[in-house]
Amino acid sequence: MDKLTFQTRPRKQLKRSGFKKPVYGATKPKVRITKPKRELMPNRVKRAKKELVELSHTTKVKFCNLCSKTKEIHLFGKDIRCKSGLSSKCKSCNYVGVKKWRTDNPEKHSIGRKLYKTRHPEKTKEQARKDSQKNYYKLGQKSRIKSRYGLLLEEYNSIKNRQNNLCAICRKKEYEKELSIDHCHKTGKVRGLLCQKCNTAIGLLNDDILLLKKTILYLKNNEN
């Protein structure tokens, strides 16, 4: 039998045709493994909190991009995406936008609420309990104001608006509770609305003007 003959191309022709010689024992290219975004979130939250603390120490005012007004820090909601840790919109502007979206998209809003309730049943129960307490307090407040001071809730709200929701003495806002009704214990006449601190201070001094003057003199004499 004749020997089998193999026709082989020269090297130049093989290079032109794009033929590549197989490399045995070659390793696969290394794939870079990146951490998922969820693992990086806690560090981002810490950074935002740190910047928020620094902001609260340095400046107590922030600029709202929608209403173009400078407002206090507590009037802005938290937002991790921002550098300062606070939202670029104030709470009132954000509330208007959310309310408009809810009216424009009622179906999406209802679906979102249902999903939230199914995912967070404990939070929804806690919120429902708080809302019921608020409603109970409002109903009780109306009857309490009427029985103790002879004031209607509308009259109370009118005095509050007249004082711009501020204490009549220190001119500060009460955030946690409603403003207390200050009245004369002898005549029962309502004098105005005060914060809890000012109301208790007057009450402890028995509404006595002489005692108040003496306390002012005492503080002046003992100034550093």
Q: For residue 127, is it within any domain?
A: no
SS3 for 220? Answer: helix
Sign, CA torsion 217/218/221/222: negative
Q: For residue 22, is it within any domain?
A: no
Please count the helices (runs of H) and the strands (runs of E) in the chain: 8, 6
Do 154 and 194 sit in the same domain of this protein?
Answer: yes
**Domain final residue pick, 56, 90, 120:** 120
The pLDDT score that the predictor gives to residue 15 is: 54
Q: At what angle do helices 121-149 and 106-119 cross, to 10 degrees?
A: 100
Nearest by Cα to 67 from 91, 99, 100, 86: 91
Which residues constitute the domain of residue 194?
Answer: 136-224
Higher pLDDT, 180 or 8: 180
**% of the chain beyond a pLDDT of 90:** 1
Do 148 and 179 sit in the same domain of this protein?
Answer: yes
Number of domains in the chain: 2
Band (58; pLDDT cuts 50, 70, 90): low
Do 70 and 100 sit in the same domain of this protein?
Answer: yes
Q: What is the CATH number of the domain that holds 150?
A: 3.40.1800.10
Q: Enumerate residues 6+ apart whose C-beta is below 8 A from 180.
A: 193, 194, 195, 196, 199
The pLDDT score that the predictor gives to residue 72 is: 86
Q: For residue 9, is it within any domain?
A: no
The pLDDT score that the predictor gives to residue 32 is: 59
* Arithmetic mean of pLDDT, 16-45: 54
The pLDDT score that the predictor gives to residue 40 is: 45
Do 222 and 141 sit in the same domain of this protein?
Answer: yes
Do 116 and 141 sit in the same domain of this protein?
Answer: no
Q: For residue 126, is it within any domain?
A: no
Residue 22: pLDDT over 70:
no
The pLDDT score that the predictor gives to residue 45 is: 54
Q: For residue 8, is it within any domain?
A: no
Q: Give pLDDT tens digits for 106-158.
A: 899 889 888 988 888 898 888 888 777 666 566 667 777 777 778 888 888 88
Of 48-57, 59-68, 81-90, the range with the lowest mean pLDDT is 48-57
Q: Give pLDDT tens digits for 80-91.
A: 888 778 888 899
Computed over every residue of the chain, the mean pLDDT equals 76
**Domain final residue pick, 86, 120, 154:** 120
Do 155 and 205 sit in the same domain of this protein?
Answer: yes
Q: Give the tokens for residue 32.
A: 């870079």
Please state whether the predicted TM-score (pTM) of the whole model is above 0.85.
no
Alpha-carbon distance values, 95 to 66, 76, 191 (Å): 12, 11, 34
**Domain final residue pick, 58, 92, 120:** 120
The pLDDT score that the predictor gives to residue 39 is: 47
Band (47; pLDDT cuts 50, 70, 90): low
Do 95 and 166 sit in the same domain of this protein?
Answer: no
Do 57 and 94 sit in the same domain of this protein?
Answer: yes
* Arithmetic mean of pLDDT, 37-54: 52
Q: For residue 217, is it within any domain?
A: yes
Q: Give pLDDT tens digits for 177-201.
A: 788 888 888 888 888 888 888 888 8
Do 112 and 153 sit in the same domain of this protein?
Answer: no
Q: For residue 191, is it within any domain?
A: yes
**% of the chain beyond a pLDDT of 70:** 69
Alpha helices in 120-184 (DSSP H): 121-149, 153-162
Q: For residue 12, is it within any domain?
A: no
